[in-house]
Structure 1
């Protein structure tokens, strides 16, 4: 009697385990689950590529600065010349002394008009 109970219980446990495994696999193979898995893989791959690109850009920047220092030393350039300040242009729209100034223009200065 004990043997029959043991094998019956073992069979029930194996059946429950197999059913659980099959149902879990079926849920993984639904279109929604496959799409979510593919999206997650794509995001992970994109993040890895981004991390590698950032690392590569930092390496390039460091090597560029090192090479620039080597070239400055070889050419005897100690201080980089300062660049002049950017020019600022006065607006000519409201400058009445400008001969191109028009009191009542027939066109609009609104760049967003008709766009």
Structure 2
């Protein structure tokens, strides 16, 4: 009698465990879940690219300082550069071809 109860309980527990695993996997494979996972990966990749670009920029600044020191340049690089030329500002009222487009929100959680 004890053996039958043990195996019945073990079978019921295995059935509950398997059902839970299958339902969890099915929820992961819904289109909404797959879209959210892809968006999260894209955001994560963007952060990694930004960090990489910042590291490259810091390395460039450091190497430029090393080269300036090696060449004996005492003046800062920015002081030698002329001020940037700027295009004259366009008067929007004078140009009727200018169109004002609506801004689009790119919040991926907006639809939920």
TM-score by length of 1: 0.66
Aligned length: 86
Q: Which 4+ runs in 1 deviate beyond 6 A?
A: none
Do structure 1's residue 111 and structure 2's residue 91 form an aligned pair?
Answer: yes
**Structure-1 separation of matches of 2:75 and 2:54:** 30
Structure 1 residue runs of 5 or longer lacking an equivalent are 87-109
3-state SS, counterpart of residue 112 of structure 1? coil
3-state SS, counterpart of residue 40 of structure 2? helix
Structure 2 residue runs of 5 or longer lacking an equivalent are 84-89, 99-112
1:32 aligned partner? 32
Larger Rg: 1
Higher relative contact order (CA 8 A, sep 6+): 2
Matches within 5 A, 1:25-104: 25-71=25-71, 73=72, 78=74
TM-score by length of 2: 0.68
